[in-house]
């Protein structure tokens, strides 16, 4: 869904750079989210919570079905494999 919206905007720009960025926004966004997740769970604050037996929240990747038929149907599933994550992959994928 992210790529669908951003790709429309990139199409409107129409430059070579914009065309080259198509289909990459959602994964870039997810990577930034995962980096933030790693920062939180490597912090001193988390270490104290972990010592107190706090439960670790895991990132959930949802809506990972491809909307653009020109892309590989497992694009998001393949690219979002990371430790301690959950993916709600559609059965069709």
Q: Domain count of the chain?
A: 1
Is residue 93, in this structure, part of any structural domain at all? no
pLDDT tens digits for 35-56? 999 999 999 999 999 999 999 9
Closest CA to 75 of 5, 16, 27: 27
Is residue 81, in this structure, part of any structural domain at all? yes
**Predicted pLDDT at 37:** 97
**Predicted pLDDT at 3:** 92
Is residue 44, in this structure, part of any structural domain at all? yes
In angstroms, the CA 52 to CA 64 distance is 34
Q: Domain residues for 43? A: 2-87
**Predicted pLDDT at 69:** 87
**Predicted pLDDT at 90:** 76
Is residue 31, in this structure, part of any structural domain at all? yes
Cβ-count burial 68-82 (b if 16+ within 10 Å, e if not): eeeeeeebbbebbee
Is residue 9, in this structure, part of any structural domain at all? yes
**Predicted pLDDT at 47:** 98
pLDDT tens digits for 3-32? 999 999 999 999 999 999 998 999 999 999
């Amino acid at each position: 869904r992210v790529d669908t919206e951003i790709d429309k905007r990139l199409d409107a720009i129409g430059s070579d750079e914009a065309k080259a960025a198509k289909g990459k926004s959602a994964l870039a966004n997810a990577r930034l989210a995962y980096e933030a997740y790693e920062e939180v769970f490597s912090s001193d604050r988390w270490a104290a919570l972990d010592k107190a037996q706090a439960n670790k929240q895991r990132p959930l990747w949802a809506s990972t079905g491809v909307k653009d038929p020109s892309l590989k149907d497992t694009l998001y599933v393949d690219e979002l494999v990371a430790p301690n994550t959950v993916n709600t992959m559609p059965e069709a994928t």
